[in-house]
Amino acid sequence: MLQISTIREQKDVFIAALKKRNFDAQGIFDELLQLDDMRRSTQTKLDKTLAESNKLSKEIGNLFKNGEKQKANLLKEKTGRLKENSKNYSELLANTIIEMEKHLYTIPNIPHESVPAGTSEEDNEEVFKEGDIPVLAEGSLPHWELAKKYDIIDFELGNKIAGAGFPVYKGKGARLQRALITYFLDKAVEAGYTEYQLPLMVNEASGYGTGQLPDKEGQMYHIAEDDLYMIPTAEVPMTNMFRDNLLTEKDFPISCTGYTPCFRREAGSYGAHVRGLNRLHQFDKVELVRLEKPQDSYAALDGMVEHVKDILKDLKLPYRILRLCGGDLGFTAALTYDFEVFSTAQDRWLEISSVSNFETFQANRLKLRYKDKDNNKELVHTLNGSALALPRVLAGILENYQTPEGIKVPEVLVPYTGFTVID
């Protein structure tokens, strides 16, 4: 969430930057600044009224003490009017602040200067590519057919139990899934991340804290009776661990990792491009979250990108990295790099990770600050990345490692699976 003070100071700069997102901020900024003027004016009137009321209360006390009851009662009538005025000003102030927050929650983050302009994923900028695309044998299959052939993922059984988008992993498929999770966590811990096991449900405050609410409310599973939301990513509970915290410089860097199932309604997703593991309502993911001082956050982002690159090198999967354009950039992100693995059997790129810097956008919502060396309170920069989301990684492994004799297991995963081939 943006700060009113920075909007006031950099209004024209922000309006120009948000045009990269195809977001016209002129009208909402004007309305916000008018509301802020009203807030300031109302706060001044409230403060003045309360000060006058307090002053009269002291005078009334002295008058009663000196036996001047009539004068005291006259002043009491005046303080009664002042109390009524202060009540009205307080209500107006509270309502104005609520209205301002509603507006602020609808404004996306300011994109970083390196974000290219654009309207859709077609305008994303490829910044890196690595790995040879394998040449598959005649008759090679997409992963959903491989899953059925080798009886490792049962989509129909998942549909019977819960519905489409809830697969059941079986036998070597389940073991390969578990191997990937453990390997991803081990890589993160070796890189200095602290591992957490997290709740799979969050309250409304947590959803607002990291920006899923109100922006993605319709995409989250909501348990109305308890007013809890199933997490769409471990980023939400992991980042909210630090909500309302005041950190010190010695606390940095803060690096967290955790594995969770993730739940997304993915309403309106249909077609061949979402078959099999390509898009699910429940899937597994290992997440990275970092908290950094502002001057260190982009070096940290580069480090997270290198971390994901290292994993994909180990898995020997062909991949590329895209810098997302303004039109494809997530609501809360200032800069995002998407990783895509090439699915040879499907002949298309599949997104497997997003690594983002949110700068102060989430921290302002979270009231997450730190004391700098001069004892000033400053907003923290938050970052997160998937390392990795499993469904499309698994799809890439099944498709790119298939042979006429079976599906080979990437060498780095063999110590985790205990087998070298799925046949």
- The per-residue pLDDT for range 322-334, each reduced to its tens digit, is 999 999 999 999 9
**Residue type at 204 in one-letter notation:** E
Q: Can you point out the beta strands (E) in 191-281?
A: 194-195, 201-203, 222-223, 228-230, 246-248, 254-263
The H or E element spanning position 379 is strand 377-379
Given this model, what pLDDT does residue 217 score?
83
Given this model, what pLDDT does residue 391 score?
96
Given this model, what pLDDT does residue 269 score?
53
For residues 225 and 278, is the Cβ–Cβ distance under 8 A?
A: no
Beta bridge partners of residue 403, listed in sequence order: 406
Nearest-angstrom CA–CA distance, 148 and 130: 30
Grouped pLDDT means (10 residues each) for the chain, 423 residues = 95 97 96 97 95 85 78 79 92 97 96 96 97 90 96 97 96 98 98 98 97 90 96 98 97 97 78 80 98 98 98 97 97 98 92 97 98 94 97 96 96 98 97
Number of H helices, E strands in the chain: 13, 19
Phi, psi of 186 (to 5 degrees): -60, -40
Cis preceding linkage at 324, omega within 30? no
Helix-strand-coil split of the chain, %, nearest 5: 45, 20, 30
Beta bridge partners of residue 408, listed in sequence order: 421
CATH class of the 4-104 domain in this structure: mainly alpha
Tokens describing residue 160:
């019977």
Q: Does domain 121-422 correspond to CATH entry 3.30.930.10? A: yes
Domain segments of the chain as ranges: 4-104, 121-422
Nearest-angstrom CA–CA distance, 206 and 232: 12
Given this model, what pLDDT does residue 270 score?
54
Judge whether 4-104 and 121-422 match in fold: no
Nearest-angstrom CA–CA distance, 11 and 323: 26
Given this model, what pLDDT does residue 267 score?
61
For residues 359 and 296, is the Cβ–Cβ distance under 8 A?
A: no
Q: How far is CA 267 from the centre of its chain?
A: 19
Strand order in the sheet with 348-359: 125-130, 319-323, 335-343, 348-359, 381-389, 282-292, 254-263, 194-195
Cis preceding linkage at 253, omega within 30? yes
For residue 170, CA distances in Å to 177, 313, 340, 361 come to 10, 27, 26, 41
Nearest-angstrom CA–CA distance, 401 and 136: 9
What three-state secondary structure class fits 374?
coil
pLDDT tens for each residue of 115-148: 999 999 999 999 999 999 989 888 899 999 999 9
Given this model, what pLDDT does residue 55 score?
85
pLDDT tens for each residue of 221-270: 999 999 999 999 999 999 999 999 999 999 999 999 999 999 999 865 55
Given this model, what pLDDT does residue 77 score?
81
Given this model, what pLDDT does residue 216 score?
83
Q: What is the dihedral of CA 317, 322, 324, 327, to 10 degrees?
A: -90
Q: Are strands 369-371 and 246-248 parallel, antiparallel or unpaired?
A: parallel
Nearest-angstrom CA–CA distance, 169 and 178: 10
Mean pLDDT for the chain overall? 94
